[in-house]
Amino acid sequence: MNANASPAKALEKSVVRQLERAVGKDSVLWRPEEVLAFEYDGTIERAMPQAVAFPNTAHQVAEVVRIALDAGLPVVPRGAGTGLSGGAVAALGGVVVALTRMKRILEIDAENQLAVVEPGVVNLELSKAAEPHGLYYAPDPSSQRVCTLGGNVAENAGGPHCLAYGVTTNHVLGLEVVTPTGDIVELGGRTGQTPGYDLRGLFVGSEGTLGIATKIVLRLLPRSEATRTLLAIFDTVDEASEAVSAIIGHGIVPSALEMIDHHVIKAVVQAMDVGYPDDAGAVLLIEVDGLREAVIEEAIEIKEVCAAEGAREVRVAEEAAERERLWAGRKGSISALGRLAPNYYVLDGVVPRTKLPDVLREVYKLGEQYGFPIANVFHAGDGNLHPNVLFDERIPGETARVLEVGAKIMRLCVDAGGTITGEHGVGLEKRSFMEWIFSEADFAAMANVKAAFGGNDLYNPCKIFPTGKGCGEVTQTKIEHVMKQAGPDAYI
């Protein structure tokens, strides 16, 4: 050891050596230029880890956890880094446990309609593997081509087709988990019906604060006999919003019911040819599936409902190529926003369906008040809003103002009887909003759950809870520090 090295540096080196022995020298990053890519996820938040470890097995995960915590370093689980709430950001530094090398599909049990996977498996790859058996995995986040199933479990991810089929928690049967104490335990099983407390359900959506999933048993569904996708075109967002409630009010629950507003349409038609009319105020992308006869009848009824609510046109795609073209616009909508502004801040709130018109009007008003265009693309069927605030971070003070308008949008959702997240999670980004929803007694109960799993202030710190040791400054993003590091020409 260099006699001139500081104690902190010496400790860091010793931890690096232990990590290298646990997972292999080529599976640990620790130099600043190496870990730079792991300082962020899909949010505005930034924080540098001190090391990143890439385990290949549950036992290696457990060893990494023990090494980090024994050294007094925070542990931060990470999947593909596509999360939208700062859940994978190393807020207080420490060791990031990157699970992307644990990417094996261990089993497809077609007879029992389930799959056993490692956490680093990309969401869409599971459906591809199940397709020869006539099966698929239903939860489909818009990032499904890159997001991992371990991250989906951590955030209880949703997606366009979760309206009818449920979000991630409805499809997780069992889990192998490394606890914050480094123990390996099993929650649930292969049937989804186990006696006692539903610890499986408790773990899903815990955002990496209760442990790290190292093996996941997932429910698969049979592919539908028929599918039809409809594009309902409206002149105003209000008309499209009213149509959402009208469709479900008629007793129809589509497999997907998405809304795309005029800002997003403008961006999408510039980026790709998907058949959206560029002069529409909003479109609804609606999909029904099931038995052929039922699908035909539902599609006819949906057309009638939309026409009654003011749709100027309803197009029906029956062929796979037509459907894929329409869905390409929805799946690529967020990335297309880069054509309208250099930066965007995506939010995730939920309101009752009947409140959509009122809340959306107020969202647009906030955009006008603050001088930011706000583009909306969201899961309208379950009231899960995704306002995207468009801005340019290079303008001094813009990022702070964006966070301010974002907080006001979240407050609108809560005041309308909704909540602050439908699928992105609370994470680092929205933890200060939790006090709008929960009491001190609620927080105490949740803290007891975390403690029961062995969680402490070093295990994915500063996530979910509004307070935490050393997390006070993190509640308000360190914007000035981030901007100074990134430089004047950087983009979020």
Contacts of 483 (CB under 8 A, 6+ apart): 393, 399, 490
Rounded CA-CA distance 65/290 in Å is: 45
**Element containing residue 492 per DSSP (H, E):** none
Separation between Cα atoms, residue 401 and residue 371, nearest integer Å = 10
DSSP one-letter code for 168: G
Taking the C-alpha atoms of residue 75 and residue 210, their distance in angstroms, rounded to an integer, is: 11
Closest CA to 217 of 186, 187, 190: 190
Q: Which of 347, 360, 491 is nearest to 406 (CA)?
A: 347
* C-beta of residue 374 within 8 angstroms of C-beta of residue 363: yes
Output the pTM of the full model.
0.91
d(CA 67, CA 287): 49
- How would you label 218-254 residue by residue, b for 16+ Cβ within 10 Å and e otherwise? bbbeeeeeebbbbbbbbeebbbbbbbbbbbbeeebeb
> Contact at 8 Å (CB) between 420 and 384?
no
Query: Cβ atoms within 10 A of the Cβ of 388, count?
Result: 26
What the block records as the tokens of 57 is: 């097995």
Q: Are strands 95-98 and 75-78 parallel, antiparallel or unpaired?
A: parallel
Joined together, the tokens standing for residue 101 give 């090398």
Q: What is the pLDDT of residues 381-409, one digit of tens each?
A: 999 999 999 999 999 999 999 999 999 99
Cα–Cα distances (Å) from 346 to 40, 209, 358, 438, in that order, read 15, 23, 20, 24
What's the Cα-to-Cα distance from 126 to each of 82, 101, 133, 288, rounded to whole Å? 18, 16, 12, 22
Sign of CA dihedral 170, 323, 359, 303: negative
Distance set, CA 22 to CA 27, 69, 138, 346, 430 (Å) = 9, 14, 36, 38, 35
- The whole-number pLDDT of residue 384 equals 96
Half-sphere exposure of 51 (CA within 13 A, CB side): 29
What residue type is 344 in one-letter code? Y
**Cα–Cα distance list, 328 to 157, 210, 276, 333, 442 (Å):** 20, 36, 11, 8, 41
Specify the 3-state DSSP secondary structure of 108: strand
Mean pLDDT of the chain: 91
Alpha carbons 450 and 459: distance in angstroms, whole number: 10
CA 186 to chain centre: 24
Structure confidence at residue 472 (pLDDT): 63
Strands 95-98, 51-53: pairing kind: parallel
Q: Which residues of the chain have pLDDT under 50?
A: 1-11, 474-492
pLDDT value of position 288:
97
Structural domains in the chain, sorted by start? 7-98 (3.30.43.10), 105-222 (3.30.465.10), 226-336 (3.30.70.2190), 340-486 (3.30.70.2740)
